[in-house]
Structure 1
Amino acid sequence: MLSTEGVSASQMLDLGEHLAVAGKIGDANLILDALKQNDEGSREQILLAGIIAVAQGNLSLAEAGFRTLLLRDPHDTRVRLELARVLFLLHRYAAADYHFRLSAARSPTSVQHNISLFRRAIQAQRTWRVSVEGGIAPDTNVNSAGRDRIVDLFGLPFNVDNDAREKSGVGVFANADVELRLRRSEAVGLSIRAFGNAREYRRSAFNDEVAGIEIGPQFRFGNAQVIVAGTGLFRWYGREIYSRALGAALRVELPISAQWQVDLKPQFRSVNYLQNPSQNGPFMSLNGQISRSLGSHALGQIDFLASRQSARAPGYAYREAGLGVSAFAELGNGITVGGSIEAARTVFDAPLFGFAKTRRDWRAATTISVLNRNWILLGFSPVARLSFARSKSTISFFEYRRTRLELALQRPF
């Protein structure tokens, strides 16, 4: 039997890791047995068991052990790095990138350099990405409408139709985003992305569905990845086609460092509104995200938006600018808590037909979310989101308040 008198658990872990990496699995297992005798279920024992499992090629067993330790302590950078490496070896690149980014915040410079190399390899090797979510959503204002009973048109008061006023309800929703990247060489590939979302209610007049596709070549320039895509976007409202748009988009993904990343997406679309051709016109926008790891268990992000919608009728043409800040943190026991706040300003070119004023809106929203990765049902984890939105306008008819609760299952990392 191996004598461990006077040897700390940390020293035993280091020795066991050295033996496992050197291929001396039998000797490493002796160290593991000694750790079990001293304190079975300890961090060092589970961590060494995972390291030995990796050396033996049992990556699923190693992943389970590392995740168990992160449930106990999401601040454990060493364990998170080991999990990220296992996920990389399993070709689960999105999950690996997530954990590498969190690990970078509290890692020394040499480790951050290695993390950057892993993230660059992930960018080059990742061939697919899938995000799926669905659930139910009680909502105080399913049609984002106001409460006014009277609206002034042409200087005269008119009654507002009941369906054009605020309606509450409980709906079901689903979101999906799938991307396939086919590599033609180290620097060139093809990106195919399909996405969509649906909001369904008992009264189908308020159903809202969106489906889109983006296809185009993908290029790598050092750490940067650029996709030039043709796009199609279609929307249905109340079970009828509402709009369709064709255009082009440029997607830029730029990891600045192991901790920082910038994503940009300028795009152009020609939009046709099937039920109101006066809204038809070109749409241009720039979306951006700047994100950073805030620690070994948290990420923060700034989102910004600038857009321009032209239209045949100037009353439907507008400019919009928005800014949002969000963050989330893993708290332990599989619980992740997130929050966001955003604001946007929309200014229309001219008064809508019948209105005396030009519409100018302010919108603000905040969301709080809780995800439990410890509860898994058929590969999905439960998430709850509570959001509040408020719109103010120079025309009271367009003002609204909205509170929405989403109870969903989503595919975890």
Structure 2
Amino acid sequence: MIRAHQRLACTQIAIIGLALGVAPALAQERRTGLSATDLFALAERDVAADHPADALAIYTALARDPDLEVRSEARFREGMLLGALKRYAEAATVFRAFLDEKPGTPRVELELARVLIAMGDEAAARRALRQAQASGLPSDVAVVVDQFAAALRSTQRLGGSLEIALAPDSNVNRATSARTLDTVIAPLTLSRDARQQSGVGIKLSGQGYARLNLTQNLALLPRLSGAASLYRSPAFRDVSASALLGLEWRVGHDRLTPAAGPTWRWYGSQFYARTDTIALDWLHPLGRRSQLTVSGSAAHASYRLNPLQSGGLFDVSAGIEHAIDAKSGIGGGVGATRQAARDPGYSTIAGYANAFGWRDFGRVTIFGSASVRRTEGDARLAIFTDRRRETLYQMATGATIRSLTFHGFAPVVRLTYERNVSSVGLYDYHRLAADLGVTRAF
């Protein structure tokens, strides 16, 4: 993969000299007649001598070489060494940088999937495998990849993630901009807090999990997760947390994941609702490039401030994700939701559909999504003149900028637009929001 006589720039040699603690004079001597091949051999000797830090310093310097093949070889060897050292996040970042410059390299996509599995990120690992298969594999390699996909299992016993973003929002409370609403009694004048409010806040989300293997094909999965949208005014702060206990059962190529547990939500610094849920997810591969996910759940929601909203929640959905090639993919899904509240005015039935896609352009990934949701109320609320009938449109686009990667994280920019067209003025709104944050660079 490398040119045998490709020379390093003087600045790169200086970097190696400093990284290895070599005196400047010695580094200058090594520069004379030193080829990339010589440095790769030196790095291999460092690995054999159990000096991985020295080898990594060489690979890091070679990854800045002007020759693409030298950079690629250095990144591949660096990623493999980091993986062997169980520095999986760093390895994934290096493999991702390789693929940004040389997409459609199946071996590297497979190695990326391997370290993602070790990190416990099975969804990302499956996507890497589908993209490798979309690149076109020799028949003998394809068989091995199929076996790898069939046996795919997260091996990390403990794991988690954390994301943070600055979030300017034109409608933090998803409220109408109207000053008055028509009611069966008389026009109702809304207070300022009940109307559309803009603001800039902080969004936080995170999760943690444990994987306890019971048998070869069965594991216990306790999970904790939380999310928060925090604004200056306490009235619009939205915080939720959940604790789920589930199983992961593998049957052939398929995976069944039942789970149950509570979710708590606080809004406006007050306890808002508790939802107790049981759910089942089924993941089924559709060939080498696609996968099908079918989900169903049943829950009971208890609203503290308005018990008339309390009742059952039922949801079923199906979605498909497909790798077009090594640099792009698409997906979509449909679903339905039933809310059965104590007051028929709060009872609704809804159907929805969504589509999404992504494309890599060098070290930038562009993504976008669109969805539509139609909701029908069983009856009108006593105060309003009409029952709830509405259509919610949502569109989002953004980019992950891996060229600015720092310690395995990269900036992400996302722009979201929502428009809810409702027969009940209280629910009619529009919203434009942005997220400026950081996410993993792989």
Q: Alignment partner for residue 347 of structure 2, among 317, 324, 349?
A: 317
**Structure 1 residue 408: deviation in Å?**
0.8
- 1:87 partner letter: V
**Structure 1 position 366 matched with structure 2 position 395:** yes
8 Å Cα contact 2:372/2:394 also seen in 1: yes
Larger mean Cα displacement after TM superposition, 252-261 or 142-151: 252-261
**Structure 1 residue 390: deviation in Å?**
0.3
> What does residue range 258-273 of structure 1 map to in structure 2 within 5 Å?
258-273=288-303
TM-score (structure 2 length as normaliser): 0.78
Counterparts of 1:312 and 1:104, CA distance in 2: 50
- 1:158 partner letter: L
**Structure 1 residue 64: deviation in Å?**
6.8
Larger mean Cα displacement after TM superposition, 221-230 or 82-91: 82-91
8 Å Cα contact 1:205/1:237 also seen in 2: yes
- 2:405 partner letter: I
Q: Alignment partner for residue 253 of structure 1, among 283, 286, 291?
A: 283
Structure 1 counterpart SS, 2:200: strand
**Structure 1 residue 220: deviation in Å?**
1.2
Give the 3 Å change call, closer, same or farther, for CA 86–219 of structure 1 in structure 2.
closer
CA deviation string 1:270-306 (max 9, x = no partner)? 1100000001111111133211111101121113221
8 Å Cα contact 1:292/1:301 also seen in 2: yes
Q: Alignment partner for residue 251 of structure 2, among 216, 221, 238?
A: 221
Structure 1 counterpart SS, 2:215: coil
**Structure 1 position 349 matched with structure 2 position 378:** yes
Structure 2 counterpart SS, 1:184: strand
Name structure 2 gaps, 5 residues minimum. Answer: 6-36, 49-64
Give the 3 Å change call, closer, same or farther, for CA 198–51 of structure 1 in structure 2.
closer
TM-score (structure 1 length as normaliser): 0.84
Aligned residue for 1:388? 417
Report 1 or 2 for greater relative contact order, CA contacts < 8 Å, sequence distance ≥ 6: 1
8 Å Cα contact 1:113/1:258 also seen in 2: no
8 Å Cα contact 1:130/1:178 also seen in 2: yes
Structure 1 counterpart SS, 2:341: coil
Aligned residue for 2:308? 278
Larger mean Cα displacement after TM superposition, 121-130 or 59-68: 59-68
Larger mean Cα displacement after TM superposition, 299-308 or 44-53: 44-53
Give the 3 Å change call, closer, same or farther, for CA 326–128 of structure 1 in structure 2.
farther
Larger mean Cα displacement after TM superposition, 122-131 or 137-146: 122-131
Name structure 1 gaps, 5 residues minimum. Answer: 6-12, 25-39
How many residue pairs get aligned? The number is 387
Aligned residue for 2:439? 410
Aligned residue for 2:182? 152
8 Å Cα contact 1:310/1:317 also seen in 2: yes
CA deviation string 1:234-288 (max 9, x = no partner)? 1110010110011311122222333111222211111100000001111111133
State the superposition RMSD in angstroms.
Answer: 3.3
**Structure 1 residue 379: deviation in Å?**
3.4
Q: Alignment partner for residue 109 of structure 2, among 81, 84, 97?
A: 81
CA deviation string 1:77-131 (max 9, x = no partner)? 2463354266268656545433222111122362443323222333264545533
Structure 2 counterpart SS, 1:114: helix
**Structure 1 position 332 matched with structure 2 position 362:** yes
Larger mean Cα displacement after TM superposition, 359-368 or 228-237: 228-237
8 Å Cα contact 1:131/1:411 also seen in 2: no
Give the 3 Å change call, closer, same or farther, for CA 194–116 of structure 1 in structure 2.
farther
Counterparts of 1:77 and 1:311, CA distance in 2: 53
**Structure 1 residue 144: deviation in Å?**
0.5
**Structure 1 position 398 matched with structure 2 position 423:** no
**Structure 1 residue 175: deviation in Å?**
1.3
Structure 2 counterpart SS, 1:76: coil
Give the 3 Å change call, closer, same or farther, for CA 52–386 of structure 1 in structure 2.
closer
Structure 1 counterpart SS, 2:227: strand
